[in-house]
Amino acid sequence: MPAVISTDDLTVRPLAADTWPAFAELVERHNGIFGGCWCTYFHSLSRDKDRTYESNRDLKCNLVEKGCAHAALVFDGDEAVAWAEFGPPDELPNIHHRKEYEATQASSPDYRVTCIFVDRRYRRHGLAALALKGALDLIAQAGGGVVEGYPHDMAKQPDGKKMSASFLYNGTRKMYHEAGFTFDRSKGLKNCVMTLTVPPA
């Protein structure tokens, strides 16, 4: 792995049946993501305690095949190395601190960005921002709309310590701000809601 990664050499493609194998390889390289989640946490409000690495994989695969799971995949050649999961609220109904979020909610977005993940070999090279941009581009191609993101608010860390990159499941407030989002409100102890209206492509 080179010390510096050029984003000029990377491409972004949507998660779909033809890119599923590359997505699956990325997830498998990281043991299923967060204990075998397979990026399914935000797809359902119910938390089935019997769900396993294999059942989550099958669930995600089925959702992708049905066109009910969306993400911008960042590729280095033929290898997927990052993603930004996005979709309408009915596709991604679950978010962290949901009760607080709903109690302070004034309107519903057209899209949510719920999870951004970067291959451990590629972290700290701007790929999370590239994946987020890719998601916004795909949303624009789909007609645009109001997009919400739920990044970590690093200024609110109560102990002043930096969070490990592996726990930044949706990027930072600074990254969203640089992408054009504006702060809407706090959500939970370390998260916030940020919004951006994306025009149609």
Task: Give the pLDDT confidence of 173-196 residue by residue, as tens digits.
Answer: 999 999 999 999 999 888 999 999
Q: Within 13 A of 134's CA, how many CA atoms are on the CB side?
A: 25
Residue 78 is predicted with a pLDDT of: 95
pLDDT digits (tens, 9 = 90+) for 73-126: 999 999 999 999 999 999 999 999 999 999 999 999 999 999 999 999 999 999
Distance CA 47, CA 156 (A): 28
**What token pair was written down for 167?**
């726990």
pLDDT for the residue 184: 97
Q: What confidence category does residue 2 fall into, taking pLDDT thresholds of 50, 70 and 90?
A: very low
- Distance (Å, rounded) from C-alpha 33 to C-alpha 27? 6
Supply the pTM of this predicted model. Answer: 0.91
159 has pLDDT over 80:
no
Instruction: Say if strands 111-118 and 145-149 run parallel, antiparallel, or are unpaired.
Output: parallel
Separation of alpha carbons 79 and 134, rounded Å: 16
Which residue carries 């396993």 as its tokens?
A: 52
CATH classification of 10-198, choosing from 3.40.630.30, 1.20.140.10, 1.10.760.10, 3.40.250.10?
A: 3.40.630.30
pLDDT tens, position by position, 7-56: 678 999 999 999 999 999 999 999 999 889 999 999 998 776 778 999 99
- The pLDDT value given to residue 155: 60
